[in-house]
Structure 1
Amino acid sequence: MSRPQRRGSHRPRAKQPRGASRVGERFEAIVGPVAHGGHCVVRLDPPEARVVFVRHALPGERVVLEITEGTDGDRFWRGDAVEVLEASADRVTAPCVFAGPDRCGGCDFQHVALPAQRALKTAIVREQLSRLAGLTWAGEVEAVPGDVDGLRWRTRHHFVHTSSGLGMRKHRSREVVLVDDCLIARTDAREPAPGIVVETVEPHEFQVAGDGFWQVHPGAPRILVDTVLGMLAPQPGETALDLYAGVGLFSRFLLDAVGERGRVVAIEGDRTASDLSGRNCPGITARAGSVDEVLATSFDQPFDLVVLDPPREGARRAVVEQVVDRAPRAVAYVACDPAALARDLATFATLGYELQELRGFDLFPMTHHVECVALLTRRG
């Protein structure tokens, strides 16, 4: 299953300064379109003539932005909107007191009304598909049952433990902000810990490592399973290949559909998760190992169906080529990053597989993250 990067955990790459620092300088500007990554694009007027990726802003607003990263020699800078001079109609007061400039880095869109958050995510998916894959998508990012007003949906949560209490890191920083209550976490959310926990997606139970991966939105497993199976329409006796299979969520339901005459092969890089998939899905063939390496040496017979659920960087060409070599009639691609999805869809297109359907789901309200499920079939 896809592994979204932990909220607020991104670290800037170490780099050599390219001239005098501009950090702390302020500029008045009109905010441009939303960009992938939880920020909007601002183009400063000469003499600066620089692109700034600005958080805590909305398209069309007039703001005062403060530079948080950037030097004279950088192609672009990063910044925060620290004052809003003309607000968008979609701006709201952040429900969380820890959200905003120089505060907790976990949520990107607390200042945005929930319908507008989904509209921004829709715009990002469309832009990435158009720019990177030459595709037009007319769909909308959909709400998912399991949260109220975009809050209290996160079933697992990772705090930074300090001598002063619990905290979260600032955006692109190791600095910790003390947080006594995270509003997107459920009140019964648990922290990752060793051991085995049991998750239920009716009618099945799944054993999951307490510090392993499982979707954190309570509505995610059900909607993803229903969407993948609805797109693939697996038939009794068919063969299915489940790649980046995790603990076997999709494998279990594929196995139900193809029945005793069918076959499901699940490949997962994490050995613990792979072992658990064997327990969760009696009757599948589970193989632990890097997906590209396993496919290069094993299971080279044709498969009717493939499920791809790669990590954030996507499947990439080596895996896509191996999938196409198995000549599936249909591929369901589950993606937690629209840019990686678009790049892989472009690769599939060069190898004869076309996008037939795509749905987007708001599995991470208040953040910029979005989950997509795409259906591909052979051209012609």
Structure 2
Amino acid sequence: MSRPQRPVPRGRRPRPKASKGESYVGKRFEVEIGPVAHGGHFVARVQIEEASRVVFVRHGLPGERVVVEITEGTAGDRFWRGDAVSVLSAAPERVVPPCPYAGPGLCGGCDFQHVSLPAQRDLKATVLREQLVRLGGLSASDPLVADLVVEAVPGDEDGLRWRTRQRYATAPGGARGMRKYRSHDVIPVEDCLIATTDAREPAAGTVVESVVIGGVEHSFEVAADGFWQVHPGAPEALVSAVMSALAPAPGDSVLDLYAGVGLFSAFLADAVGPTGRVLAVEGDQTASALSVGNVPTADVTAGDVATVLGRLEEGPYDLVVLDPPREGARRAVVEAVVARTPRKVAYVACDPAALARDVAIFAEHGYRLRTLRAFDLFPMTHHVEAVALLTR
């Protein structure tokens, strides 16, 4: 679990780019909102003279008639971005955002505050299905795709008060605040409703996190500014899903890749026992060093995962855990994994597109997706976590 600690992503900030003609920023159009797209927005089309232009719209819902204000776009761009600033015909799933800072032109942290919680999970499942079909090569009729649901995870309050770590920006006047979507502009925020009331801001030093699975408790020392899942129910949900998928047995050898501070390694080491072996590989030097103390029975190696696998002995491993950052494991790592001929691979994914691309690479080498679970670890945002099992 090596993804760096960061606030809920607010979208990539636009890079300066050469002008491509007349700017349409600020112009408004009446449109019908189409399907959800990866990234927390929805697809719509604006008719400009003889041509139509795709607009990725925030704060809409499929089937709605809205007035969209263009926030990025010129005459020469392939697509534009916009905000639904007025709803002419609302979808039944639309609700009043619980947070006063959520909406067009306000805080960019939450994509789906205007959507009922069950509908948010349906939207996330739709995106995950679409990516698996489009990029992963799966059939839409495959039960793993067609029957996929995003599971609620205990630990939040109706989708709020789940973020145990939170980073704030400084607003004009010195107040704490949050940035607008794809912007450096900061708006004052008195209370972020997705943050727990005792949420910590990143700091120096370490903290201790405890996780209990099946009556067994492990404690983990974590850098206060390092990565740890921010939803209180996330560690238990993910470890339980990985252990259920892999079913490790005494004597098994396990590769735990992107191992972070050793969350999966600790419970895997229990399962494989003294006759088994767990090798944990993590690129972050601090997290890797902490994992030595957190999981003293594991072999720990610090370094880039692809590089470490490239020099690792060719002997087989029974099981592999992959928990890569948002860009996924990618080809070099996937091919190094399949070269070890594991009987099972558990893939923990925080990005549907990256998961789908890596599933396709695994398929090239004879590994197929066998089970897939998705978890709503980031309510009110478009983000979703998944645990996939691949076998030969």
The two structures have a TM-score, normalised by structure 2, of: 0.95
Larger deviation: 320-329 or 43-52?
Answer: 43-52
CA distance in 1, matches of 2:157, 2:64: 27
1:244 aligns with 2:254: no
Question: Which secondary structure does the structure 1 equivalent of 2:108 belong to?
Answer: coil
Between the aligned partners of 1:299 and 1:167, the Cα distance in structure 2 is 50
1:157 aligns with 2:191: no
Q: Distance in 1 between matches of 2:278 and 2:17?
A: 46
**Which stretch has the larger CA shift, 265-274 or 293-302?**
293-302
User: SS of the residue aligned with 1:214?
Assistant: coil
Q: 1:209 aligns with which of 223, 239, 259?
A: 223
**Aligned residue among 224, 231, 244 for 2:245:** 231
Q: Secondary structure at the match of 1:133?
A: coil
Pair 1:181 & 2:191 matched: yes
Distance across 2 between alignment mates of 1:73 and 1:264: 53
Q: Which residue of the partner structure matches residue 35 of structure 2?
A: 33
1:109 aligned residue (112, 120, 126): 112
Matched, 1:83 2:86: yes
**Counterpart among 340, 356, 361 of residue 370 in structure 2:** 356
1:342 has 2:356 as partner: yes
Q: Which ranges in structure 1 are unaligned for 5 or more consecutive residues?
A: none
Matched, 1:194 2:204: yes
User: Counterpart in 1 of 2:121?
Assistant: 118
Answer yes or no: is the 8 Å Cα contact 2:2–2:282 preserved in 1: no
Instruction: State the 1:149 CA deviation.
Output: 0.8
In the alignment, the residues of structure 2 paired with residue 14 and residue 141 of structure 1 have an alpha-carbon distance, to the nearest angstrom, of 37
Amino acid at match of 2:177: G
Structure 2: any 5+ residue segments left out of the alignment?
Answer: none
- Counterpart amino acid of 2:202? P
Question: 1:272 matched to which residue of 2?
Answer: 286
- Residue type of the alignment partner of 2:129: R
Amino acid at match of 1:286: V
Task: Mark the CA change 1:2 to 1:53 in structure 2 (over 3 Å): closer, same or farther.
Answer: farther
State the alpha-carbon separation in 1 of the partners of residues 183 and 312 from structure 2: 42
After superposition, the C-alpha distances for 1:127-147 in whole angstroms (9 at most, x for unaligned) are 000110121412101100000
The number of aligned residues is 378
- Mapped contact 2:170–2:186 kept (Cα < 8 A): no
2:326 corresponding residue in structure 1 = 312
Amino acid at match of 2:181: H
1:256 is matched with which residue: 270, 277, 283?
A: 270
Matched residue type, 1:342:
A
Amino acid of the structure 2 residue aligned with 1:373: V
Deviation at 1:301, TM superposition (A): 1.5
| CA RMSD of superposed structures (Å) | 1.0
Q: What displacement does 1:180 show?
A: 0.4
Distance 1:183 1:38 in 2: 19
What CA distance in whole angstroms lies between the structure 1 residues aligned with 2:123 and 2:17?
31
- TM-superposed deviation, 1:9: 5.9
Check whether the contact 2:256–2:264 (CA below 8 A) recurs between aligned residues. yes
Are 1:145 and 2:145 an aligned pair?
Answer: no
TM-score by length of 1: 0.98
Of the three residues 364, 373, 378, the one matched with 2:387 is: 373
Matching residue within 13, 16, 34 for 1:14: 16
Q: Residues 48-104 of structure 1, C-alpha deviation per residue, up to 9 Å, x if partnerless? A: 510000000000000000000000000000000000000000000000000000000
Is 1:74 the counterpart of 2:84? The answer is no
Deviations along 1:24-50, one digit per CA (max 9) or x if unpaired, are 000001000000000000012342510
Name which of 276, 293, 302 aligns with 2:316. Answer: 302
**Structure 1 runs of 4+ off > 6 angstroms?**
none
Structure 1 Cα separation of the partners of residues 326 and 194 of structure 2:
21
Report the alpha carbon displacement of residue 299 of structure 1 after superposing the two structures with TM.
3.8
Determine the C-alpha separation between the residues in 1 that align with 2:168 and 2:358: 33
Q: Matches of 1:179 and 1:139 in 2, distance apart?
A: 36
Letter in 1 for 2:42: C
Q: Are 2:2 and 2:284, in contact at CA under 8 Å, matched by a contact in 1? A: no
Indicate the percent of aligned positions where both proteins have the same amino acid.
Answer: 66
Q: 2:130 corresponds to which residue?
A: 127
Inter-CA distance 142–2: structure 2 relative to 1 (3 Å threshold): farther
Contact 2:19/2:74 (CA < 8 Å) preserved in 1? yes
What CA distance in whole angstroms lies between the structure 1 residues aligned with 2:170 and 2:290?
30
CA contact (8 A) 1:308 1:332 kept: yes
Letter in 2 for 1:144: V
What's the secondary structure of 2:265's corresponding residue? Answer: helix
Counterpart code for 1:289:
G
Secondary structure at the counterpart of residue 44 of structure 1: strand
